[in-house]
Amino acid sequence: MSHAAIHDQHDDHHGAPKGFFQRWCMSTNHKDIGTLYLIFALTMFFIGGSFAMVIRAELFKPGLQLVQPYFFNEMTTLHALVMIFGAIMPAFVGLGNWMIPLMIGAPDMALPRMNNLSFWILPFAFVLLLSTLFLPGGGPAGGWTMYPPLALQSGSLAYVVFAIHLMGISSIMGAINIIATILNMRAPGMDLLKMPVFVWSWLITAFLLIAVMPVLAGAVTMLLTDKYFGTSFFNPGGGGDPVLYQHIFWFFGHPEVYIMILPAFGIISEVIPTFARKPIFGYKAMVFAIASIAFLSFIVWAHHMFAVGLPLGADIFFMYATMLIAVPTGVKVFNWVSTMWGGSMTFETPMLFAIAFVILFTIGGFSGLMLALVPADFQYQDSYFVVAHFHYVLVTGALFAIISATYYWLPKWTGRMYNEFWGKVHFWNSVVWVNVLFFPMHFLGLAGMPRRIPDYNVAFANFNMISSIGGFLFGASQLIFLGVLIHCVFFSKKKAGERAWEGAKGLEWTVPSPAPHHTFDVPPIIHDEELAHGNVNA
C-alpha cells in the first residue's frame, strides 16, 4: 500500500512557484503549508501572550488599576481560545505537515489541496473571533469553556461559535490528511512499528481530533440555538440542563487536552535520543503509552466537573479513571530518563528545552494527580492551583516541546544553524521566568484565591506580584526567540548539513538542508540502522 504516492500533477516539480500569491496562498506543498501554520501559530502566540500581559498587569497588585472587570474577562477568555486553537494546535499541525512526510519518506501529504484549505480557514476564523473586541458589546467574556447560562448573555456568541466551527473544520481536515498520509504514504519498509514516535503520536492525536471536534461543534451549536432559535438544551426554564453542556464540552475538552500534549510527547521522544546519542528506551512501551493515554482521555471528562455535584458513584468512577492516567504517563517519563541514562549527552538548545519539558511537565503531572483526588479537588477546583497545573502542562509542556522542535528542525527548514548562544539565553530566561510566573500560583490556589478574578484580597498580593514579574519577563524572553528565528532565517551565515545534529537519526536527516521543495519523489530505500527506531524488534 505504501508505493510511491501519486503526485499532485499541478505542481511544478523543480522548485517553488515564483509569485508570492502563487507560492503562499495557493500552495499545495506540505513544507510551505507547514511554514504557514508555524508562522500563524507564532503570530497567535504573541497575540495571546499580549492578552496574558494585560491579565498579569492588572493582577500586579490589589485594586483595579488598568481595566474594567468585563474587559479582564474578555482577556482571560480570548487568551485561552487564542493560545489553544491559534497557537498550540496550529503549531503542532505545522510541525506535522513539515515533518511527517519527511519522516516517513512520503513526497507530500496525501491530500494537498485540502491541506491548503485547512490552513487558510484559520486566519479567517481568528479574524472573526478577534474582531469581537472591536465591536459594540465586546468579545466573549464567559471563559473559553463557554458555560451556559453565562455564555448565553454574551452578544458576541454567534461570532465565537462560527469561529469555533471554522477552527473545528480546519482541525478535522488536518487530522484526516495526517491519517491518510501516515497510513497510505509510508515508504516501502517503513512499517508502522518503525515510525518515529512523533509520527505515532500524531496518528493517535489525529484520531482524537476526528472523534471530538464534532462534539465541540455540536455543543456550541446548541448554545447558538439556545440563544437565537428558542431551544432549551441548557435552559432549565425550558426543561434543559446547564450541566449537560459541561458533560458534552468536557467530552471534547479532555481529549483536547491530550491533543495538545501527545504530539509534544512525540517531539520529546525524538529530541532526547538525538542528543543522548542512544535509541529511545522502550519504543513499543512509548507507543502503547500514548495509545492508552488517548483511550483513557475519553473516560475521564467529568474530573473537570467534580464541583458540579455529581452522584457519588460518578465521582468515584472518574477519580479512579483519572488516576489511571498517571501509570502510562509515568512510563513515558521513566523511559525518557532511561533514554538519557548511559547516553553520551550534549546540551544544545533543543535538548535543554526537552529536559525542562520532562521535569516541568512532570510537576504539572504531579499537580494533576493531586487534582484527581476528589476531596482535595473540592478545594483545588477553580482556584489558582488549577491555573498553575494547566500552565505547567501547557506552557512548560506543550509550548516547550514546540520550541524544542523548532530549534531541533530549524536547520532542516532553513539550511542554516541558529545562534546557539542566543538560543541558550532564550532557554535560561524562559525556564527561570516561567517558574517565577507559574510556581507561586500553586500557593495562591492553596491559600484560597479563585481563578478568573481581576482583583483580590491583599493576602494574595505578594505571590501575585512575583507571578506578574515572572510573567512580564517570560513574555519578554519570547522576543529573544523571535530574534533568534529571524536571525536564523535571514541572516545566519552558518550552513547546516544534511544531518544537522551529530546524533540525529531518521529519514528527515537524509535529505539536504534546507529540505528542497520536493523530497522523496522516489521512495527512499529504508535501512533500519538509519531510522531513529529501526531496531525495535531486535
Partner 1 sequence: MAWATLALASFGSAAQAAPGPWQLNMQRGASTWSPVPYHLNNISLGVCVVIGVLVFGAMFIAMFRFRKSRGAVAEKWSHNTTLEIVWTTIPVIILIVLAYLATGGLTSWADTTGSQMTVKITGYQWKWRYDYISYLGKPIDKVGFMSKLDSQSDQTRQLGSGMDPYAVKVGTENTYLLNVDKPLVVPVDTKIRFLITGGDVIHSWWVPALGWKLDAIPGIVNVAWTNITTPGTYRGQCAELCGQDHGFMPIVVVAKSKADFAKWLAAQETQSAAPAAAPAAAPAAASTAAAPQTAQIAVAPANGKQG
Catalytic residues: 79, 108, 144, 170-171, 254, 256, 258, 269, 303-304, 329, 332, 451
Rounded CA separation 179/241 (Å): 36
Which H or E run contains 393? Answer: helix 384-393
Rounded CA separation 163/141 (Å): 15
| Contacting partner 1 within 329-368 (CB under 8 A) | 330-331, 333-334, 337-347, 355, 358-359, 362-363, 366-367
- Quick one: 480 exposed, middle or buried, by C-beta within 10 A (0-12, 13-18, 19+)? middle
Rounded CA separation 168/173 (Å): 9
73 touches 142 (CB < 8 A): yes
Closest separation between CB of residue 323 and partner 1, Å?
A: 5
User: Cβ contacts of residue 269 below 8 Å, gap of 6+?
Assistant: 196, 197, 198, 201, 280, 286, 336
| Contacting partner 1 within 481-510 (CB under 8 A) | 503
User: Cβ contacts of residue 168 below 8 Å, gap of 6+?
Assistant: 213, 214, 216, 217
Say how many C-beta atoms besides its own lie within 10 A of residue 527's C-beta: 11
260 touches 171 (CB < 8 A): no
| Contact pick of 39, 67, 133, 489 for partner 1 (by CB under 8 A) | 67
| Contact pick of 15, 19, 69, 512 for partner 1 (by CB under 8 A) | 69
Residue 327 interacting with partner 1 (CB under 8 A): yes
| Contacting partner 1 within 415-444 (CB under 8 A) | 439, 442-443
| Contact pick of 116, 274, 383, 492 for partner 1 (by CB under 8 A) | 383
Of residues 38 and 300, the one with the C-beta less far from partner 1? 300
Residue 279 interacting with partner 1 (CB under 8 A): yes
Residue 469 interacting with partner 1 (CB under 8 A): no
Of residues 101 and 503, the one with the C-beta less far from partner 1? 503
Site string for partner 1, 227-246 (x = CB under 8 A): --------xxx--xxxx---
In sign, the C-alpha dihedral spanning 108, 110, 113, 118 is negative
Tell which residue, 332, 325, 362, 344, has the closest CA to residue 501.
344
Of residues 4 and 331, the one with the C-beta less far from partner 1? 331
Closest separation between CB of residue 209 and partner 1, Å?
A: 27
Backbone phi and psi for residue 304, each to the nearest 5 degrees, phi listed first: -80, -5
Tell which residue, 400, 455, 350, 440, has the closest CA to residue 55.
455
| Contacting partner 1 within 162-201 (CB under 8 A) | none
Of residues 370 and 480, the one with the C-beta less far from partner 1? 370
Residue 446 interacting with partner 1 (CB under 8 A): yes
Three-point CA angle 366, 449, 76, nearest 5°: 85
Unique residue bearing C-alpha cell 519523489:
521
3-state secondary structure 43-65: HHHHHHHHHHHHHHHHCCCCCCC
Residue 19 interacting with partner 1 (CB under 8 A): no
11 touches 29 (CB < 8 A): yes
Of residues 299 and 326, the one with the C-beta less far from partner 1? 326
Indicate the residue type of 279: P
Closest separation between CB of residue 310 and partner 1, Å?
A: 10
| Contact pick of 124, 295, 320, 428 for partner 1 (by CB under 8 A) | 320
Closest separation between CB of residue 392 and partner 1, Å?
A: 12
Closest separation between CB of residue 534 and partner 1, Å?
A: 11
The cell for 167 is 477552527
Closest separation between CB of residue 319 and partner 1, Å?
A: 6
Residue 537 interacting with partner 1 (CB under 8 A): no
- Selected range binding partner 1 among 170-178, 214-222, 302-310, 475-483, rule: CB under 8 A: 302-310
Closest separation between CB of residue 143 and partner 1, Å?
A: 5
| Contacting partner 1 within 517-536 (CB under 8 A) | 536
| Contacting partner 1 within 75-134 (CB under 8 A) | none
- Selected range binding partner 1 among 43-51, 95-103, 143-151, 519-527, rule: CB under 8 A: 143-151
Query: What torsion, rounded to 10 degrees, do the Cα atoms 416, 420, 426, 432 define?
Result: 150
CA distances from 419 to 274, 403, 488, 495, 512 (A): 19, 14, 7, 11, 20
- Selected range binding partner 1 among 9-17, 167-175, 248-256, 275-283, rule: CB under 8 A: 275-283
The DSSP bridge partners found for residue 383 are: 450
Of residues 40 and 198, the one with the C-beta less far from partner 1? 198
Residue 460 interacting with partner 1 (CB under 8 A): yes
Residue 458 interacting with partner 1 (CB under 8 A): yes
